[in-house]
A and B are shown apart, each in its own frame.
Chain A
């Protein structure tokens, strides 16, 4: 935008509308929170606890996927539309691994029962590797040749790649939803029982695994971006590709590696999704993909901590939202899309603030 910010000289009409709408919405939200929590509480503390647990788990998965978006956007200024499908690929990788371990007989029972954690580890390794590889090839085939083209072109290519991956998966594996074969130790729905407000609230094993792993991965990634040479190169390329190249950085290599990392994270998220939520199918990556993108924008696109926060926030809001706003749970996706739209309209720089510079005149 050519009009630089900073001066309050010209108060434009849309800014007034923005502020009024923002205030009105915040007031409404506060009123709803009051009603639901204090005024006429329809849910007990135990239900809230369940919402929060579910939201945190979902949020950590979103966060992983969101980081992938933000890394790619930071480096290429493009939305990797097919990122959600990379997650799907990872999910399938994990699925097939678990199926395989389920069928390998070991001393009376199956491999996955005898060595459950090894099986899970294998699932992650396979899922992550396949997803990372897919990310690498995706960039090489569909994005790299279009590096200099006007922005519309790689975006369309990304959309095409996404559609292709989803439907190829459908043709290969069929359209039915497949159940992740967790080892008995990690059966979905089982976990530690907490007693809250007199009722039993379950802290699921799979959920804890998900959150712990996500946090570890996020820490690892943060260290990678901030402390390693590769991370520095990534940040340099994100700042200014030409100058980075002049400094001797292999820009193509850095971009490839970014896609590999972002794919790996998405793959891990996909396996977690399978382990915790159970169902995987060819379309599983689509909506989480968009939600994760929302999270990335919410946190400030280009910022890794922002993506993490945004993911967590979105997960919680999606879980708590329908209850707080008093609307049907059917509409929980509307909440996510609504946030997306509102954030992009009113605060496109996100909560943390935009890391990328604007175009100058």
Chain B
């Protein structure tokens, strides 16, 4: 199986603080890989390094074996990696459809001159783009809400819209940042099924930052655990659950409680 994303010794410091500490990760294509860890362990910073928002201080990032370290965000997207954000960052005052259309920006080609002249190609491209946006809306279950302002949508819908927007650039890999934050158990369950669908139907490799352990243990094929920026464990859900370092990182040393899997529920 091919390795979709690989990081080697990825490090990022801010002043005196090492946010990401020599993290080595290898994610197989078409898999669902979770990154977990206590708050402040550097997970989002890790994402920011991969997606080009931060420039890593050292280490390498390889996407399908091609180096990608230090590329700016627009080029990362062009290579095929999309992401969502911890605190939903939709374009609040634009409509749902427009948000997705912006997501398609990198796959469209009309430039300003053609836009002014309204060439047939531009017309065709716009039409196709809108059609595709509507399809994506349906795919995430928001059909018919296309003209709603993004900030008027209910919370769960906003999360899904953000995913639709991320899908608009036809990524081969999707980085989700706490997609179930703030959701009740029903919504969480739906989101989990949805993430599975993304991988199963669209073949997208998925990396997931999550705090909800049921989700993590339920759908991940492999999990990596970060603590204070360093990777302290990696393995299958079963391996991680039994790993004393992980338990210590989350619950402090001396804690003997286990994290029981509730994976059966999600079958």
Contact = CB atoms under 8 A, between A and B. Distances in A.
Interface of A: 2-4, 6-7, 9-10, 361
Contacts of B13: 6
A4 B69 CA distance: 14
B55 A3 contact: yes
Contacts of B113: none
Interface of B: 12-14, 48, 53-57, 69-70, 72-73
Contacts of A10: 55, 70, 72
Nearest to B44: A361
B54 A9 contact: no
29 contacts: A2-B53, A2-B54, A2-B73, A3-B53, A3-B54, A3-B55, A3-B72, A4-B12, A4-B14, A4-B54, A4-B55, A6-B13, A6-B14, A6-B55, A6-B57, A7-B55, A7-B56, A7-B57, A7-B70, A9-B55, A9-B56, A9-B69, A9-B70, A10-B55, A10-B70, A10-B72, A361-B48, A361-B53, A361-B54
Contacts, number: 29
B230 to A, nearest CB: 19
Contacts of B14: 4, 6
Contacts of A3: 53-55, 72
B140 to A, nearest CB: 25
Contacts of B57: 6-7
Contacts of A361: 48, 53-54
Given A7-B70, A9-B69, 12 more contacts: A2-B73, A3-B53, A3-B54, A3-B55, A3-B72, A4-B54, A6-B13, A7-B55, A9-B70, A10-B55, A10-B70, A361-B53
A112 B239 CA distance: 91
B186 to A, nearest CB: 31
A4 B52 CA distance: 10
Nearest to B48: A361
Contacts of B55: 3-4, 6-7, 9-10
A242 B70 CA distance: 35
A10 B49 CA distance: 13
Contacts of A9: 55-56, 69-70
Nearest to B12: A4
Q: Which 5 A-B pairs have the closest CB atoms?
A: A7-B55, A9-B70, A2-B53, A10-B70, A4-B54
Contacts of B72: 3, 10
Nearest to A7: B55
B183 to A, nearest CB: 23
Nearest to B56: A7
A10 B69 CA distance: 10
Contacts of A6: 13-14, 55, 57
A4 B56 CA distance: 9
A253 B57 CA distance: 43
B267 to A, nearest CB: 37
Contacts of A7: 55-57, 70
Contacts of B69: 9
Most A CB atoms within 10 A — which of B13, B14, B55? Answer: B55
Contacts of A4: 12, 14, 54-55
Nearest to A10: B70
Nearest to B54: A4
Nearest to B73: A2
B209 to A, nearest CB: 14
A9 B57 CA distance: 8
A31 to B, nearest CB: 37
B162 to A, nearest CB: 16
A361 to B, nearest CB: 5
Nearest to B55: A7
Nearest to B49: A4
B158 to A, nearest CB: 19
Nearest to A6: B57
A7 B12 CA distance: 9
A148 to B, nearest CB: 16
Nearest to B15: A6
A2 B44 CA distance: 14
